[in-house]
Structure 1
Amino acid sequence: MLLLLTWMLLAGCSVTKTVPEDDALFTGFTVKVDDTKDSSKRGPQMETELGATVRPEPNASILGLRPKLAIYNAFYTEKEKGLKHWIMTKLGEPPVLVSQVDTGSISQIMSNRLHNRGYFNNTVGSTTEVKDKKATISWTAHIKDPYRLRNIKYTLSDSLEVHQAIKQARSKSLLKSGDPYDLSVMTDERIRIDSTLKGKGYYYFSPDLLIYSVDTTVGNRQADVLLRIKNATAAQALQPYKMDDIFIFANYSLGDSLAVSDTIDYKGYHYIPNENYVRARHLLDGVFLEHDSLYTRQDHLLTIRRLAGLAAYKFVNIDYEPDTTGEGKLDAFVYLTPALKKSLRAEARMVSKSNNFAGPGLTVSFRNRNAFKGSEVLNVEFTGSFESQVGGRGTGTAPEGVEDTVNTNLTSYELGVQTTLAIPRIVSPFNLRNLRTEFVPQTRIGLGFNFLSRSGFYQLNSYNATYGYTWRPKETLTFDATPINLQYVRLTNTTIAFDTLLANNQYLRRSFENQFIIGGIYQMTYSTQMRKDRTSNVFNRITLDMSGNVVSGFQSLIGKPKPTEEEPRVLYKDRFAQYVMLDNDFRHYLNLGEESQLVARLATGVGYSYGNSTTMPYVKQFSVGGPNSVRAFRARSVGPGTYNVPDSVAFSFFDQVGDIRIESNLEYRFPIAGFFKGAVFVDAGNIWMLRETGKDGGKFEAKDFLGELAVGTGAGLRVDIEFFVIRLDLGIPVRVPYLPKGDRFVLNEFNGSFSGDYGMVLNIAIGYPF
C-alpha cells in the first residue's frame, strides 16, 4: 500500500519532470472517423484500426497513473552506471514527447489504410493541444461511401490443369459482389487459392503468382476485379507433383555428411543411418508423406508437427527436390536433430497438488527422452515437501496429546517417488488406425508411492499404479482416459489424540480405513488459451472418477453376499472403495490490454459413495482454502458447510473435507514495472457433505448454500520471469461461514495483522493460481 501511494505521489507531482522546456509530454490521442456519408457504417471499426497506426504510443498508464514514467523521473540521472541508472533504465520508462510524433506521416498512413478499405477519396487531419507541458493529439478522418465490387472474373483456360483446380474451388471465394473493396480480403483470396493448390500437389506455386486488375472507372462507386496468373510464371509452378523417394535422417546434426549409402529400407522409406537411436517402425507413425502420393501442404505440416512432438528430437525440417529420373516427382528429405537424451533436475518450489496440499518442497527428477528407442519418456521423480502458512485459524494452545506446532509452523510433511513412462503412440490389444492429428497420442504408465505425516495425528502410505491414454483430436480439445487406476491407502502410526477422534466419529473412521481404489478416471479438456490474439479465452476441464464397480460386479457374479456397513466386501483383507465423482473446472480469461487480464473461475464437484462404501475415501474428498483456493483461509480450513470445528481440531489444523465443492474466484491481473505484476482478487467457496455425519451444519442444503460460502479478498504480487513465477497473495477474510447468522461478515473486525481467527493469510506459491 505504501508503495502504491508513493507511485501516486510521483505520478501526480513529477510526471513532466524530465520533459524539455520547449517540448511536451505526449499523454494521449483520439481518432474520429466521420462516417455520416458511409452506408457501411464501419466508422468504429476504422477508428480502432487507425488508432493502431499511432507511433510512438504514450507512456504506459494504470488507472490514469504512469508508474514506469514516475520511476524514471524519480531515479533520473545523467550517469551511465550505478544503481539509480539501473533502476531508471530497467524499471522506468523515459517520457514520450510530442515532438517524437510525426503527425504528417501518421495522417498519410491513416489515409492509405482507408484507401485499402475502399475509401479512395478520404481526408485525414490532426490538431495538437498542449496544456501544462502535456499534449494530446486528435485525428479526424472524413470518408464517403466505399467503392464496392461489381464483377469478379478469373482469367482461366481449360488447357492447364492448374486453372481447372482454381475453377473447382471458385465457390469458396472470399470476394463477393456488392462487398466493399478491401485489399486485405483480396490478399487473403490469393492465399486461399495458394492453399487450395498446395493441397493438390502444386509445390512450387505461391500467392504472388496471382495478380489483380481493378477497374474503378465503371461508375457509381463500383469496381470490376480481374484475377489471373502472371504470364511469366515458370512451368514447374503450374504442374502438380507426386512424392517419390523419402529419405529420413533419424540422427542428424549440422555438418553431417548427407551420403545415403548406409541406408535401411523400411516399408518404402529410406531410413538413415540405422536404428541405433529411434527405430523406424516407431518413427513412421509420425510421417504422413507416402511414396507415389500427391504432395500436399497438409501432409507436410502434419508430419513436421507430429515429429516435433516426439521428445527424442528438438528440431525437425523437411526439404524437397525434383526427382532427376521422373517428371512431376519430388524427393523428400526429413532431417531430425536429437534432443538431449538424459537429464537430472533439482527444483526447490512451493508445492500445490490436486488434493490442495501446499507449501515449500524439493523435487529431484531424472528424465530419459528415448528410453527404449521409440522416443518414450521415462521420468523418475522424488519429492519432499512440508506446509507453512501465516495467519488464520489455528492459533492458541495445543490440546493434550497433540504436538505444539506454533513455533515450528510445520503442519505436515510429505515424501514420494513417482515413475512414469509416456509412450508416443497408442499401445492397445486392438489394432487401431494411426490418427491424423498434429498432436502425438500417448500411452501413459505410472507407478508410485507417497508418504504423508500429519504432525501429532497419523501417517498415511499411498501406493498407485495407472495405465491410460492421452490424445488431442484438435488444438482446443484433449482427452485423457485412464481405464486402469489402482491405489492402495494405508493408515499407520496414529496418535492417541487421533484415535480418539476416530472413535468418536464413525464417518471420519470410514474415510481413513485401509482400502483399495480400483477403477478409472476419464477427463476432457477444452481450452482456447493458446490463441493469444483473442480478447476472450476459456478453459474447461471435466473429470469423471469411478472406483469399485468392476470388482463389485465380479464378486456379485461369483456369489459374494451383498456388502453391509458392518460386513463390507474385501480384497486381500481390506475394503475396496466404491464411488463415482464428477468434477468441473471452468475458467474465463478476458484480456483488457497488452498485459492486463480479468480471470473468472468456477470449480464444482460432487462425489457419491455407494455399494461397498458409506463414505468417500479421504484422499478423494474435496477441501477448500489455501493458495489456489479461497486464499483468505488456510488450506483445508473451510467447512463443511457451517460446521464450527472444535478448538482442539482447529489448532492442529486437521483436515476438513467433504463430498461437494463449490468454489469461485475473480482476479484482476495487471503490470506494475518490469517483471513485477500485481493482482487484486475476490474468492468464495465451501464444501458440504451429502449425508449427515454428526457435523452440525455440514450437510448440503440447496436453499442455504449461497449464505454458507466463505468469502475473502486480497491483493497479490507476482515476479513473472516468463519461465518462472513466484507468487505472494495476501488474503483477508470477508465472510466466515461457521459463525452464527448475522455475525459472519468479519471485515469490520480486520485488525491488519496476521494473528487471530480473522487475521490476514500470506500465501507463497509458484505459478499462477489458475
Structure 2
Amino acid sequence: MLKDKPGTGRKTAIYILPLILLLILSAGCSVTKVVPEGEALFWGYDVKVKGEKDSSKRSADLEAELSQTVRPEPNASILGLRPKLAIYNAFYTEKEKGIKHWIMTKFGEPPVLFSELDTGSVSQIMSSRLHNRGYFNNTVGSTTTIENKKATVNWTARVGEPYRIRKIEYTLNDSLPVQRDIEQTRDETLLKPGDPYDLATLTAERVRIDGVLKNEGYYFFSPELLIYSTDTTVGDRKVDVLLRIKKAATAKALQPYKMDDIFIFANYSLGDSLATNDTIDYKGYHYIPNENYVKAKHLLRGVFLEQDSLYTREEHLLTNKRLSAYSAYKFVTIDYEVDTVKNNALDAFIYLTPALKKSLRAEAQMVSKSNGFAGPGLNLAFRNKNAFKGSELLSLEFSGTFENYVGGRGTGEAPEGVEEAGNPNLTSFELSAKASLSIPRILSPFEIRNLRTEFAPQTRIGAGFSFLNRVGFFSMNSYSATYGYNYRPTQTVTIDVTPINLQYVRLSNVTPDFTKYLVDNPFLRRSFENQFIIGSIYQLTYSTQVYENRTNQFFDQVTLDLSGNSLNAFQSVTGFPPPTDDAPRTIAGSRFSQYILLDNDFRHYFNFGKESQLVTRLVTGAGFAYGNSNTLPYVKQFSVGGPNSIRAFRARSIGPGSYIDTTSTFSFFDQVGDIRLVGNIEYRFPIVGFFKGAVFVDAGNIWTFDKREQAVDDNRDGGEFDPKNFLNQLAVGTGFGLRVDVEFFVLRLDVGIPVRLPYPPVEKQNALKNFNGSFSGENSMVLNIAIGYPF
C-alpha cells in the first residue's frame, strides 16, 4: 500500500481547501433554490448569424453586436460558476435587516427569471440593428429550451448580401458660405462607394462635418441640421445617398462667427454680480476684477481665444483644458453670447472658480519598505495652490518613521558580534523634509514661446533633506536639489527633463561591526562612501491607458540618468590630474559619482470580458560607472524581490546572479547590482463587488557588470552577468492575490510561492519540490501586503 510522504497531506490541503470552499458556495446550494414554481431561471443564450451569401464576412462582428441587445442578461458567471447568485441563494432571507440581508444584497445577485425576457422584442431590436447595417431583408427568430427550471434561448438571424453605397451626392446651394465649407470636406468623407450601408457610419459623417464647421466659426451649427435621403430603388442591392441641410435651419446656425470681447472672471463664485467694474484691460482681454488672485500675464498663457479671430472649437477646448490644469482653480466654465452690436461676432465669458488655496494634512501610516523595514510613520503636508499669484503649487512635507527590520531572512549564521535578523533591537528611524514648487509654465534663461498643448508645461523646483539612523550600525544624511521640466505634447506622451539633479550622501556614526562588514566587502564600502551625485535625468513615457475602452493598452517608460560628466570634463579642461581609485577627483572634499544608467519599464494590458485583464511587464536596466567612479552609488543600484517585483521572494533577497548571502543581518545591503531583468505576467479578474482576484508568475534577477570588477574586490561569487548563462540564474515565483478595489483605494494581498531558486546547488533550485506550504522556513510562501496595483 502506497503512503504519502510526511507533510504531503498538509500541502495538498492548502491547494484544495480554497477550491472546495468555492465549490460548496457555488454548487452546494441549488441555483434555482429561490425560483418560484412555474418559473425558470434565464440560464444563458446564444446568437448565430447565418449569411452564406454575405460577401462582407461580418458574421462574428454581427453576433457580438446582436448579443449586446439581450436584456436582461443572465446572472454573472465566472468559469461556468455563478458566485453572486450562489451568495444570494445561500444567504436568502425575506427580512429587510440583519447580516444575512446585508450579505445577500451587497454581494449577491437575485436570479434573473425567464419571464423577465421578452424574446419577441429582442428579436425586433436585432432585426432593426441588422437593417441599420445594410441588411434590409433579414429574419430573426428564437427557440427556447427549459430543463430543470433553467431556460436557454438560441437566436438565429438570417441575412443575405448587404446593400452597398453606389454614390454619394451633396444637395447643396452654393449661395451660402456653409454650403461651400461642407463641399470642401468631401475629401475626408467617411462614406465610400462600394462600402456596405451602415447607419453608424452615416451618423459619424454628420459628426465629422459638424466638427470641421465648428473650427470654421459655425458656433450654432449641429449635426442634427444635416439630413440624409437614401434611394434603394436603383437595383442590384445598391443605394444612393444624398446629404442636405434641413430647411428649418436658422440663419444664425448657418453663418460663421468671429470673437469680439473676451471677459475673464478670475475670482468667480456662484452668486457673484457680473458687473464689470474694476476691470483691467490687458492685451485685448477684459480681466475682472483685478490681479489680487492670479496675475493676468500668467493666466493668459492658458487662454487661446483671441479678439477678431474666427471662433473655433479647437481653441475653446484648448483654453478649457489648459485653465483646468491650473491648481489655483477648481472649476472652469466658458460661455458665449452674440455681441449686441455685431451680429456676426461672439463675446466670450470665462468663469474661473478658485480652489481651496491652502491645506494642511496629517497622516499616520504603517510603513513597509523594499529593504525589509516596517513600522509606524507620521506625515505632515502643507499645500498652497497659488503661492505667488501665478497658480504655483507649493508643497512642504515633513515625515518621520520608526521601523523594525522584519523582512529578508538570511540563510546562514550571523557574523560574530552581529545581531540576528528579527531581533527587536534592530531598528531604524528616519526624519525628512521636502519642499517642492510646481509652476504651470516654462521658466528658462531665454524666451520660449507659449506651447499650444492641452496640458500646461510645468517647471519643477525641489529641495530636500533626510536623516536616517540605523541603530547599531550607521547614520546617513542625504541632501537633494532638483530643477526640471515636465511637458506633455499629446495625451499619450510625457517628457520629463531634469537638467539639474544634485544629491549629497554622507555616512556617519558607523559602528565597529558595520565597519568590519564594509572592510570585508570593498564593493559595498565604495557604494557607501560620502559622495556627490551631480547630473541630469531624462524620462520619456508613452501610455495609451488614457483610452479606457481599448482592448490593448501599452505603457513604456524610458529613463536615462547621467552623473558627473560635465563636472569631470570641466576639471579635465582646467588641468586637474586624471582620477584614480586611490585619488579620485572631488568637490568640497568628497568624491563625485560618474556613471550612466538606462532603465526601461514596458507593460501591456490586454482587456477582455468584464473587468478581466491580462498584464505583462518587462523591466530592464543597466548602470555603468566609469571615470571618477568604479561602482554605482548604493542608492542607484538595482535590487529585486518584494511586493512590486518578484513576489515569491522577500525584498532584496535575490542575486546578484547565483550569489547567496551567508549572513543573516546584512543580506539586504549587498544584494544589489548593475544590471536588472524582471518579467511579470498577471491575470486579473473580478470576484464579487469590489473584491478582485489575480494569479501571477514573476521571474528575474540582478547581476554585476563584469568579471573584472568581481575579481578585484567583489566577494559575491557568481554575481557577474554571463550572456550564455543568465537565463539559468532567473528566480521564478508564482502565486495568487486578493485585491479590495474601491476605486480611490486599492488594498492588495499577494501570496507568493517560490518555483525556482537562482543559486546552486542545482538539485535544490526546484523550490516546489521542497515547498513546505507555510509562511516560515525554507521554501516557504511570502505574504505581500501593499497599497495599489503592482504595475
Q: Bin the TM-score by the shorter chain.
A: over 0.9
Q: Say yes or no: does 1:696 pair with 2:730.
A: no
Where does residue 494 of structure 1 map in the other structure?
Answer: 510
Match of residue 396, structure 2, among 380, 383, 396? 380
Rounded to whole Å, the distance in 2 between the matches of 1:696 and 1:723 is 46
Q: What do the CA deviations read for 1:203-247 (whole angstroms, capped 9, x no partner)? A: 111100001111111111111111001112111111110000000
Shift of 1:450: 2.0
Q: Say yes or no: does 1:739 pair with 2:760.
A: yes
For 2:521, give the aligned amino acid: N
For 1:25, give the aligned amino acid: L
Compute the TM-score of the two structures, normalised by the length of structure 1: 0.97
Where does residue 629 of structure 2 map in the other structure?
Answer: 613
Counting only pairs closer than 5 Å after superposition, residues 54-93 of structure 1 correspond to structure 2 as: 54-93=70-109
Compute the TM-score of the two structures, normalised by the length of structure 2: 0.94
Where does residue 149 of structure 1 map in the other structure?
Answer: 165
Pair 96,395 (structure 1): closer, same or farther in 2 beyond 3 Å? farther
Shift of 1:394: 3.0
Shift of 1:73: 1.0
Where does residue 594 of structure 1 map in the other structure?
Answer: 610
The question of whether the paired residues in 2 share the 8 Å contact of 1:607 and 1:659 is answered with: yes
Secondary structure at 1:612 match in 2 = coil
Pair 240,668 (structure 1): closer, same or farther in 2 beyond 3 Å? same
Shift of 1:351: 5.1
Counting only pairs closer than 5 Å after superposition, residues 523-562 of structure 1 correspond to structure 2 as: 523-562=539-578
Where does residue 785 of structure 2 map in the other structure?
Answer: 764
Q: Say yes or no: does 1:661 pair with 2:667.
A: no
Where does residue 366 of structure 1 map in the other structure?
Answer: 382
For 1:740, give the aligned amino acid: P
Q: Say yes or no: does 1:509 pair with 2:525.
A: yes
Secondary structure at 1:185 match in 2 = helix
Counting only pairs closer than 5 Å after superposition, residues 49-198 of structure 1 correspond to structure 2 as: 49-198=65-214
The question of whether the paired residues in 2 share the 8 Å contact of 1:344 and 1:365 is answered with: yes
Counting only pairs closer than 5 Å after superposition, residues 228-243 of structure 1 correspond to structure 2 as: 228-243=244-259
Shift of 1:595: 1.2
For 1:373, give the aligned amino acid: K
Shift of 1:470: 0.2
The question of whether the paired residues in 1 share the 8 Å contact of 2:406 and 2:422 is answered with: no
Q: Say yes or no: does 1:676 pair with 2:676.
A: no
Rounded to whole Å, the distance in 2 between the matches of 1:358 and 1:102 is 58
Shift of 1:393: 3.0
The question of whether the paired residues in 1 share the 8 Å contact of 2:408 and 2:652 is answered with: no
Where does residue 707 of structure 1 map in the other structure?
Answer: 728
The question of whether the paired residues in 1 share the 8 Å contact of 2:48 and 2:157 is answered with: yes
Q: What do the CA deviations read for 1:43-71 (whole angstroms, capped 9, x no partner)? A: 11100100111111121111111111111
The question of whether the paired residues in 1 share the 8 Å contact of 2:411 and 2:663 is answered with: no
Shift of 1:387: 5.9
The question of whether the paired residues in 2 share the 8 Å contact of 1:389 and 1:761 is answered with: no
Where does residue 219 of structure 1 map in the other structure?
Answer: 235
Secondary structure at 1:654 match in 2 = helix
The question of whether the paired residues in 1 share the 8 Å contact of 2:691 and 2:740 is answered with: yes
Rounded to whole Å, the distance in 1 between the matches of 2:420 and 2:715 is 27
Pair 357,435 (structure 1): closer, same or farther in 2 beyond 3 Å? farther
For 1:715, give the aligned amino acid: F
The question of whether the paired residues in 2 share the 8 Å contact of 1:154 and 1:227 is answered with: yes
Pair 358,226 (structure 1): closer, same or farther in 2 beyond 3 Å? farther
Secondary structure at 2:669 match in 1 = coil
Q: Say yes or no: does 1:12 pair with 2:27.
A: yes
Where does residue 750 of structure 1 map in the other structure?
Answer: 771
Structure 2 residues not aligned, in runs of 5+: 1-14
Pair 606,197 (structure 1): closer, same or farther in 2 beyond 3 Å? same
Shift of 1:258: 0.6
Secondary structure at 2:24 match in 1 = helix
Pair 41,352 (structure 1): closer, same or farther in 2 beyond 3 Å? farther
Where does residue 435 of structure 2 map in the other structure?
Answer: 419
Shift of 1:408: 3.4
Q: What do the CA deviations read for 1:14-47 (whole angstroms, capped 9, x no partner)? A: 2222222222222221110001111111111100
For 1:694, give the aligned amino acid: N
Shift of 1:568: 0.2
Counting only pairs closer than 5 Å after superposition, residues 24-35 of structure 1 correspond to structure 2 as: 24-35=40-51
Shift of 1:349: 4.4
Q: Say yes or no: does 1:39 pair with 2:55.
A: yes
Where does residue 748 of structure 2 map in the other structure?
Answer: 727
Where does residue 220 of structure 2 map in the other structure?
Answer: 204
The question of whether the paired residues in 2 share the 8 Å contact of 1:398 and 1:404 is answered with: yes
Pair 357,22 (structure 1): closer, same or farther in 2 beyond 3 Å? same
Q: What do the CA deviations read for 1:533-586 (whole angstroms, capped 9, x no partner)? A: 111101100000000001001101110011001110000000000000000001
Pair 653,618 (structure 1): closer, same or farther in 2 beyond 3 Å? closer
Pair 390,718 (structure 1): closer, same or farther in 2 beyond 3 Å? farther
For 1:746, give the aligned amino acid: A
Rounded to whole Å, the distance in 1 between the matches of 2:550 and 2:169 is 35
Rounded to whole Å, the distance in 1 between the matches of 2:423 and 2:143 is 67
Rounded to whole Å, the distance in 1 between the matches of 2:461 and 2:755 is 44
Shift of 1:402: 2.6
The question of whether the paired residues in 2 share the 8 Å contact of 1:357 and 1:635 is answered with: no
Shift of 1:599: 0.8
Secondary structure at 1:647 match in 2 = coil
Secondary structure at 2:764 match in 1 = coil
Rounded to whole Å, the distance in 2 between the matches of 1:414 and 1:308 is 37
Shift of 1:7: 2.5
Shift of 1:354: 9.0
Secondary structure at 1:690 match in 2 = coil
**Identical amino acids, percent of aligned pairs:** 69
Where does residue 12 of structure 2 map in the other structure?
Answer: none
Shift of 1:251: 0.8
Rounded to whole Å, the distance in 2 between the matches of 1:456 and 1:501 is 13
Shift of 1:423: 0.3
The question of whether the paired residues in 1 share the 8 Å contact of 2:26 and 2:81 is answered with: yes
Where does residue 459 of structure 2 map in the other structure?
Answer: 443
For 2:688, give the aligned amino acid: A
Rounded to whole Å, the distance in 2 between the matches of 1:670 and 1:267 is 55
Secondary structure at 1:197 match in 2 = helix
The question of whether the paired residues in 2 share the 8 Å contact of 1:468 and 1:480 is answered with: yes
Rounded to whole Å, the distance in 2 between the matches of 1:363 and 1:122 is 66
Rounded to whole Å, the distance in 2 between the matches of 1:363 and 1:218 is 75
Shift of 1:729: 1.1
Which is bigger in relative contact order (C-alpha 8 A, separation at least 6)? Answer: 1
For 1:289, give the aligned amino acid: L
Rounded to whole Å, the distance in 2 between the matches of 1:359 and 1:391 is 12
The question of whether the paired residues in 1 share the 8 Å contact of 2:332 and 2:351 is answered with: yes
Pair 562,391 (structure 1): closer, same or farther in 2 beyond 3 Å? closer
Rounded to whole Å, the distance in 1 between the matches of 2:726 and 2:33 is 55
Shift of 1:13: 2.7
Secondary structure at 1:38 match in 2 = coil
Counting only pairs closer than 5 Å after superposition, residues 396-435 of structure 1 correspond to structure 2 as: 398-408=414-424, 412-435=428-451
Pair 235,357 (structure 1): closer, same or farther in 2 beyond 3 Å? farther
Rounded to whole Å, the distance in 2 between the matches of 1:409 and 1:200 is 73
Q: What do the CA deviations read for 1:709-766 (whole angstroms, capped 9, x no partner)? A: 1111111111111101111111111111123123211112111212113211111111
Q: What do the CA deviations read for 1:155-177 (whole angstroms, capped 9, x no partner)? A: 12221111111111111011111
Shift of 1:457: 2.8
Rounded to whole Å, the distance in 2 between the matches of 1:352 and 1:520 is 29
Which shows bigger deviation, 743-752 or 175-184? 743-752
Shift of 1:405: 4.5
Which shows bigger deviation, 480-489 or 127-136? 127-136
Rounded to whole Å, the distance in 2 between the matches of 1:748 and 1:363 is 45
Rounded to whole Å, the distance in 1 between the matches of 2:250 and 2:624 is 70
Shift of 1:347: 3.1
Rounded to whole Å, the distance in 1 between the matches of 2:749 and 2:81 is 23
The question of whether the paired residues in 2 share the 8 Å contact of 1:395 and 1:406 is answered with: no
